[in-house]
Amino acid sequence: MPFTTYSTHPYKDQRPGTSGLRKRVEVFRQGNYLKNFVQSVIDTQRELVGGTLVLGGDGRFFNREAIQVILKMAAANGVARVFVGQGGLLSTPAASCVIRKYAAAGGLILSASHNPGGPDGDFGIKYNTANGGPAPEKVTEAIFARSLEIANFLSSNAGDVDIDTLGTVMLDKMKIEIIDPVADYAELMQSIFDFDAIRALLAGGFRMRFDAMHAVTGPYAVRIFEELLGAPAGTVINGQPLEDFGGHHPDPNLVHAAELVAMTRGADGVDFAAASDGDGDRNMILGRDFFVTPSDSLAVLAANATLIPAHAGGIPGVARSMPTSQAVDRVANALNIACFETPTGWKFFGNLLDDGRIAFCGEESFGTGSSHVREKDGLWAVLAWLNVLAARSQSVADIVNQHWQQYGRNYYSRHDYEGVSTKKANSLMDALRARLPSLPGTLLEGVEIAYADDFSYTDPIDGSVSAKQGIRIGFADGSRVVFRLSGTGTVGATLRVYLESYEPDPTRQQMETQSALARLIAAAESVANIASTIDRQSPDVIT
């Protein structure tokens, strides 16, 4: 017998959320938790049998162990070939690139994204389909349903595989190709951007830093920025992937990338700085003394798309997740191209990208990307900005300020209340839902509510409907407050309150964001009674 069967324990709480299955490491290590998920994927995604699987992760604690488990299960289940990133590494966008390039049936990506790692941190796994994108809801629902009923799984008795040496090895009858995790991705980037122009920019005294946050993008950034584009050694900081990310949150925002932000301050500040998250799909963009919000970043890149060689002929359309600011809508309107509003989560962009309706898309949560892969892509966003900066020979601040003058500024902020009791968070949302029909036409903090709804999305390509995606309250002056609960947290519930106002007048575009949004912050409190319902006086994180 080439393999053994074991009994499994179905875990009823493992429904994959916004972005795959995410739990504490200790949960993944208990019993057959990981194996149950993997067998459920193989049982429901039958194209894997006799097909090709892509496998890699962000290098966090348990990554290497999980890869060995998955390889043995893939072999016993009849997967024909697996591409594994050397050392078990593949960033999320690179995995998407490799799935597409080698026409794999799908991929398993090991990451809990920006959540902390280490033995006491989080682990995660997600399945991407043949288009390179996150599994759509009908696939994740099928995997979940299967996980509740499976009684056994298949695993080879073979020993561990050396995943650190490039080349081909066999595991029973399955072929394993250990690939350079960077090569295919770097080649794709060179086919999109003007590397010569960026090389000239970096050779001309322009100073940049990239913070890999001890996560997966380190090797990618060193190869692309320092080796291919000639940036000086030291341009990439925290470039060594570590199992616990050096004890930090690999989350590229103003709080967790404070060291990088400090490098952009004052007369000695660098011209450009950027950071990426655990699995390399998020990005933060900074200029000297300047933070570009992710919503503005998407709008600016869309407005400047034709400066990027791959998009010189223009883009067909753009998309943003519902809570993302409407800055990009104004650009789409001016360019007379399509603009789609989708639920939170990259999977909702997949059909629009596959169908050629959009080329750029983004989320307020530091996610930006394009049609080159089916995941958001941190380094793509950084290269897109470098390409625009090289073509325009202006500072980051000048480019964004000019953008606001032309299109108006969408002041934007997200307030997160973390680790809230699930019961209280649900009761806040339920109470709001109950009030929705009575809100339109009433005044809140002196401004009339134009509409109030629970966002529902009908996919224009396959007609699938995703309901209850977050509560939108829109005001007559174009401002908005959005309420939704996170689908990626691992402790209690996280309430996210998204605030946005529009300012067309250039003389009022230089306010501090929280002051500019003060009226909306008060409106959010008065409509949802946040403080009393969830027992919190102020948000835990403001971005």
Q: With binding defined as CB under 6 A, does residue 426 bind ligand VG1? A: no
Q: Are 500 and 412 in contact (CB under 8 A)?
A: yes
Piece in contact with ligand VG1 (CB under 6 A), picked from 143-151, 205-213, 274-282, 509-517: 274-282
Taking CB under 6 A as the criterion, the residue among 185, 346, 360, 483 binding ligand VG1 is: 346
Piece in contact with Co ion (CB under 5 A), picked from 74-82, 124-132, 275-283, 520-528: 275-283
The token pair that represents 504 in the structure block = 């067309």
CA atoms of 472 and 485, how far apart (whole Å): 13
Contact flags string 280-319 toward ligand VG1, x per CB under 6 A: -xx-------------------------------------
Q: Which of 122, 124, 116 is nearest to 247 (CA)?
A: 116
Q: Give CA 329 to chain center in angstroms.
A: 20
Q: Are 217 and 189 in contact (CB under 8 A)?
A: no
Spot the catalytic one: 19, 96, 111, 113: 113
Piece in contact with ligand VG1 (CB under 6 A), picked from 58-66, 222-230, 456-464, 484-492: 484-492
Q: With binding defined as CB under 6 A, does residue 19 bind ligand VG1? A: yes
CA atoms of 164 and 265, how far apart (whole Å): 40
Burial class (CB in 10 A: 0-12, 13-18, 19+), 254: middle
Farthest-apart Cα atoms in the chain, separation: 76
CA atoms of 463 and 355, how far apart (whole Å): 13
Q: With binding defined as CB under 6 A, does residue 455 bind ligand VG1? A: no
311 vs 415, beta carbon nearer ligand VG1: 415
Taking CB under 6 A as the criterion, the residue among 113, 129, 217, 276 binding ligand VG1 is: 113
72 vs 114, beta carbon nearer ligand VG1: 114
Q: With binding defined as CB under 5 A, does residue 277 bind Co ion? A: yes
Contact flags string 95-134 toward Co ion, x per CB under 5 A: ------------------x---------------------
Q: Which of 163, 47, 167 is nearest to 107 (CA)?
A: 47
43 vs 377, beta carbon nearer Co ion: 377
* Residue 456 is a catalytic residue: no
55 vs 171, beta carbon nearer ligand VG1: 55
Shortest separation between residue 103's beta carbon and Co ion, angstroms: 25
CA atoms of 455 and 459, how far apart (whole Å): 13
CA atoms of 347 and 351, how far apart (whole Å): 8
Q: With binding defined as CB under 6 A, does residue 500 bind ligand VG1? A: no
Q: With binding defined as CB under 6 A, does residue 114 bind ligand VG1? A: yes
Alpha helices in 251-395 (DSSP H): 258-263, 294-303, 327-335, 350-354, 378-392
Shortest separation between residue 92's beta carbon and ligand VG1, angstroms: 7
Q: Give CA 183 to chain center in angstroms.
A: 22
Shortest separation between residue 166's beta carbon and ligand VG1, angstroms: 28
Q: Are 388 and 360 in contact (CB under 8 A)?
A: no
- Within 10 Å of residue 503's Cβ, how many Cβ atoms? 18
Contact flags string 366-395 toward ligand VG1, x per CB under 6 A: -x----------------------------
Shortest separation between residue 17's beta carbon and ligand VG1, angstroms: 7
Taking CB under 6 A as the criterion, the residue among 230, 487, 492, 506 binding ligand VG1 is: 487
The token pair that represents 261 in the structure block = 């932000």
Helix %, strand %, coil % of the chain (to 5): 35, 25, 35
Select the binding partner of residue 217 from ligand VG1, Co ion, none (C-beta < 5 to 8 A, by kind): none
Q: With binding defined as CB under 6 A, does residue 488 bind ligand VG1? A: yes
19 vs 39, beta carbon nearer ligand VG1: 19
Residue nearest to ligand VG1 (CB): 486
Shortest separation between residue 269's beta carbon and ligand VG1, angstroms: 27
CA atoms of 86 and 40, how far apart (whole Å): 26
Select the binding partner of residue 58 from Co ion, ligand VG1, none (C-beta < 5 to 8 A, by kind): none
Cα Rg of the chain, angstroms:
23
241 vs 474, beta carbon nearer Co ion: 241
Q: Which helix (H) or strand (E) holds 196?
A: helix 195-203
Q: With binding defined as CB under 5 A, does residue 364 bind Co ion? A: no
In the three-class reduction of DSSP (H, G, I as helix; E, B as strand; rest coil), residue 490 is classed as: coil
Q: Are 301 and 294 in contact (CB under 8 A)?
A: no
Pairing of strands 167-171, 81-89: unpaired
Q: With binding defined as CB under 5 A, does residue 279 bind Co ion? A: yes
Active site (catalytic) residues: 113
Provide the binding-site residues for ligand VG1, judged by CB under 6 A.
Answer: 18-19, 113-114, 277, 281-282, 321, 344-346, 363, 365, 367, 486-488, 496
